[in-house]
Amino acid sequence: MGPNDVERFAERIAQSGVHAIDAPMSGGPARARDGTMSLMVACADAVFEANRSLIAALSNQVFRISQRPGDGARTKLINNLLAGINLVGAAEALALAERPGLDPAMTLAVIEQSSGQSWIGTDRMRRALAGDLAPRAHMTLLAKDTGQAVAMAQRGGFAGPLAEQAAAVFAQALQAGPGRAG
């Protein structure tokens, strides 16, 4: 759900006396199963305290973002935008490494131990270099989240060229393929 949808939903259920907890997660199915996904929680303090044990049972990585539903979703969009930028950058860097004849696996090994390292770059590029192209995330999610992040930035009067480029790459990839591999 986008941040504006979360806000509208929270306002609507509040009319019935129900309080919303905006708590998107990051980390994927494996981290969800073992309780290590990141939860970005936005809700009233009293609601957070009343549900603290439930929230703690979901994850040991809880980030208390704010009291305003929608801010959790905003934080997740920003996180996913950076993940998308890092993924596009890692793929571009390894494609560039091949041009002058460098070994992409060795180049990635250097990157992983140097200033260019990113979790998503390592995770996705290691598997791609090994020929493992099995989908683990949907391209539709990367396209949606980067697009929503760009829209959020534009509404706030912020223009980030990397965000727009990453969003364009995922939109093009979605048009070119089945949208399942990520």
Q: Render pLDDT for 37-57 as a digit per residue (tens, 0 to 9).
A: 999 999 999 999 999 999 999
1, 73 Cβ separation under 8 angstroms: yes
Same domain assignment for residues 83 and 32: no
Same domain assignment for residues 97 and 18: no
Same domain assignment for residues 11 and 37: yes
> Over 38-64, what HEC string results?
EEEEECCHHHHHHCHHHHHHHCCEEEE
User: Is beta strand 38-42 parallel, antiparallel or unpaired with respect to 25-26?
Assistant: antiparallel
Same domain assignment for residues 52 and 101: no
What pTM did the predictor assign?
A: 0.88
Same domain assignment for residues 124 and 140: yes
Between CA 150 and CA 133 the distance in angstroms is 28
Same domain assignment for residues 39 and 91: no
Query: What radius of gyration, in Å, describes the C-alpha atoms of the chain?
Result: 19
3, 81 Cβ separation under 8 angstroms: no
Same domain assignment for residues 94 and 43: no
Same domain assignment for residues 58 and 145: no
Say which amino acid occupies 149: A
**Ranges in the chain, pLDDT < 70:** 136-137, 178-182
* Structural domain includes residue 182: no
Strand partners, 25: 39
16, two tokens: 């019935």
Structural domain boundaries, residue 30: 3-69
Same domain assignment for residues 132 and 155: yes
* Structural domain includes residue 130: yes
Q: Please list the active-site residues.
A: 76
Q: How many domains does the chain have?
A: 2
Between CA 94 and CA 103 the distance in angstroms is 9
Q: Which of 14, 41, 69 is the last residue of a domain?
A: 69
Same domain assignment for residues 65 and 90: no
Q: Which of 69, 84, 107 is the last residue of a domain?
A: 69
- Smallest CA-to-CA distance from 90 within 114, 113, 111, 115 is with 111
Give, as one character, the DSSP assignment of residue 22: B
Same domain assignment for residues 128 and 79: yes
66, 23 Cβ separation under 8 angstroms: no
* Structural domain includes residue 181: no
